[in-house]
């Protein structure tokens, strides 16, 4: 899979490729600037707060139009604050099982993942944990499941367990609203994504049907050191919440979320990061390219993107869409005190232009990017086209944070000031 070719750099440098598996003038920007002056501190400590909403730049609507599928109108769902409050209490163990179940029953998964956040406000809050957790009060055993199902820890070093998780995700994970696309995965990708440095075996949580032993639900987390402005948190990245389609009415999602939270608590991890609104997939492989100064032989720039193929469900002609997703990049210009933001923008445009050429060479159908990092410096210039069909919201579990600029304004248009988000959730 390695690509050992080189391509000329716009300024005479050479791009050497190698595959590896791995001052915004707005109130919220002012909050970020003020908080940067505080001292570094690691926080420990159950609700989530929205960190940002970012505009997704994609071609999915155009693909659907080309395939002859129109956008279906979404029915609006209203959830009362009382329902949300009850659900929060249930997840925190402040309600009886029956009361919590009744509250959660009224919520969709989207409500659970996004509705627990405080609404946007211009009021500046003191950042930190919502709740300080007493380790002695964390249950040592999982909570009860509905009759006919039991908890299991999936050993991802086992080929058999890996196959089970692969099959569950392949058949029941992410689909779009029209059930037209479903992400394809590989077992090698799953091992890479779920067994990142410092991975915890107990954080690969499954649910089996007692009678058949079949894996019917899964959720995972991996450890991360997460910087929120000037504070570094020992956190987890929660992902791959997947439930068998026939069991969606069993309300297993909040139970899985509560269980992965308990297991993280047992390891002294009190915060987590997750996304909602649009679920991002994991890459099968990541293409990484570096720029080397021909004189000093030092690396000056770097960019990467990953491949995710989607099956086109039930279409006679088109069976697959091959998409590239922009991953991390860096340039020494960003650290040069003599360089301006315009200089950085010009350099990033050169780099991403090369990325688009390389992606075309590898026969990708589309190239997607969010408005995080410094992407707003090149999205329009590189003709990424109209906005995608949604936003991706980042949330922090058990941590209060003022809103972080996501690269878009209140009208969901690209903001010239850029984004305060530097985390790419796969």
Listed by start position, the domains of the chain span 6-44+52-61+281-419, 80-114, 121-276
87, 98, 99, 101 from 95: Cα distances, Å:
9, 8, 6, 9
Domains 6-44+52-61+281-419 and 121-276 share a fold: yes
CATH number at 6-44+52-61+281-419: 3.40.630.30
What angle, 0 to 180 degrees and rounded to 10, lies between the N-to-C axes of helices 159-172 and 187-194? 100
Q: Taking a C-beta distance cutoff of 8 angstroms, is the pair 290, 7 a contact?
A: no
pLDDT score, position 50: 52
Annotated active-site residue 426? The verdict is: yes
**Mind listing the pLDDT tens digit of every residue in the chain (426 residues)?**
334 333 444 444 444 334 333 443 444 444 444 444 444 444 444 445 555 555 554 555 555 555 555 544 444 444 444 554 455 444 554 555 556 556 555 555 555 544 444 445 557 888 888 888 899 999 999 999 999 999 999 999 999 999 999 999 888 886 555 555 556 667 887 898 899 899 999 999 999 999 999 999 999 999 999 888 888 999 999 988 999 989 988 888 889 999 999 999 999 999 988 875 443 344 445 678 888 888 999 999 999 998 877 767 777 787 778 889 898 899 999 999 999 999 999 999 999 999 999 999 989 998 989 888 999 999 989 998 766 656 777 778 888 888 878 887 777 778 777 888 877 776
**Tokens 């009021």, residue?**
123
Question: At 3, phi and psi to the nearest 5?
Answer: -115, 115
What was the pLDDT predicted at 343?
94
Residue 99: the pLDDT is 61
> What confidence score (pLDDT) does residue 420 get?
81
* CATH (residue range 121-276): 3.40.630.30
Which residue's structure tokens are 């059930």?
179
Closest CA to 194 of 168, 221, 161, 215: 221
Q: For the whole model, what pTM was predicted?
A: 0.54
pLDDT score, position 25: 43
Task: Please answer whether residues 213 and 152 qualify as being in contact, where contact means their C-beta atoms are separated by less than 8 angstroms.
Answer: no
State the catalytic residue, choosing from 145, 226, 333, 426: 426
Identify the pLDDT of residue 186. 73
Chain centre distance of CA 401: 18
């Amino acid at each position: 899979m390695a690509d050992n070719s080189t391509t000329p750099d716009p300024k005479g440098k050479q791009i050497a490729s190698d595959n590896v598996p791995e001052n915004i003038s707005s109130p919220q920007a002012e909050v970020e600037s003020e908080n940067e002056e505080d001292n570094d501190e690691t926080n420990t400590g159950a609700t989530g707060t929205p960190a940002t909403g970012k505009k997704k730049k994609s071609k999915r609507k155009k693909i659907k139009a080309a395939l002859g599928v129109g956008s279906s109108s979404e029915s609006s769902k209203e959830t009362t604050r009382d329902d949300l409050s009850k659900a929060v209490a249930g997840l925190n163990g402040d309600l009886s099982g029956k009361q919590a179940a009744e509250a959660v029953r009224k919520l969709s998964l989207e409500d659970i993942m996004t509705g627990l956040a405080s609404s946007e406000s211009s009021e500046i809050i003191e950042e930190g944990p919502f709740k300080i957790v007493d380790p002695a009060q964390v249950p040592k055993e999982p909570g009860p499941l509905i009759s006919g199902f039991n908890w299991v820890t999936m050993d991802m070093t086992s080929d058999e367990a890996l196959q089970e998780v692969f099959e569950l995700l392949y058949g029941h994970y992410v689909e779009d609203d029209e059930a037209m696309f479903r992400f394809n995965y590989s077992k090698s990708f799953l091992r890479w994504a779920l067994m990142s440095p410092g991975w915890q075996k107990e954080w690969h949580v499954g649910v089996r049907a007692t009678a058949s032993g079949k894996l019917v639900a899964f959720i995972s987390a991996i450890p991360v050191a997460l910087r929120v402005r000037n504070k570094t948190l020992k956190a987890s990245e929660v992902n791959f919440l997947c439930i068998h389609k026939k069991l969606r009415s069993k309300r297993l999602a909040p139970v899985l979320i509560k269980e992965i939270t308990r297991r993280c608590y047992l390891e002294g991890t009190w915060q987590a990061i997750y996304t909602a609104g649009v679920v991002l997939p994991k890459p099968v492989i990541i293409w990484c390219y570096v720029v080397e100064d021909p004189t000093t032989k030092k690396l000056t720039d770097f960019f990467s993107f990953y491949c995710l193929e989607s099956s086109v469900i039930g279409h006679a002609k088109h069976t697959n869409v091959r998409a590239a997703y922009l991953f991390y990049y860096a340039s020494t210009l960003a650290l040069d005190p003599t360089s301006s933001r315009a200089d950085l923008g010009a350099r990033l445009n050169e780099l991403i232009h090369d990325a688009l050429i390389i992606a075309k060479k590898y026969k990708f159908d589309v190239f997607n990017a969010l408005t995080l990092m410094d992407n707003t410096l090149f999205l329009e210039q590189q003709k990424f086209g109209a906005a995608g069909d949604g936003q991706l919201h980042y949330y922090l579990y058990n941590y209060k944070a003022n809103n972080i600029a996501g690269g878009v304004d209140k009208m969901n248009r690209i903001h010239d000031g850029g984004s305060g988000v530097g985390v790419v959730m796969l």
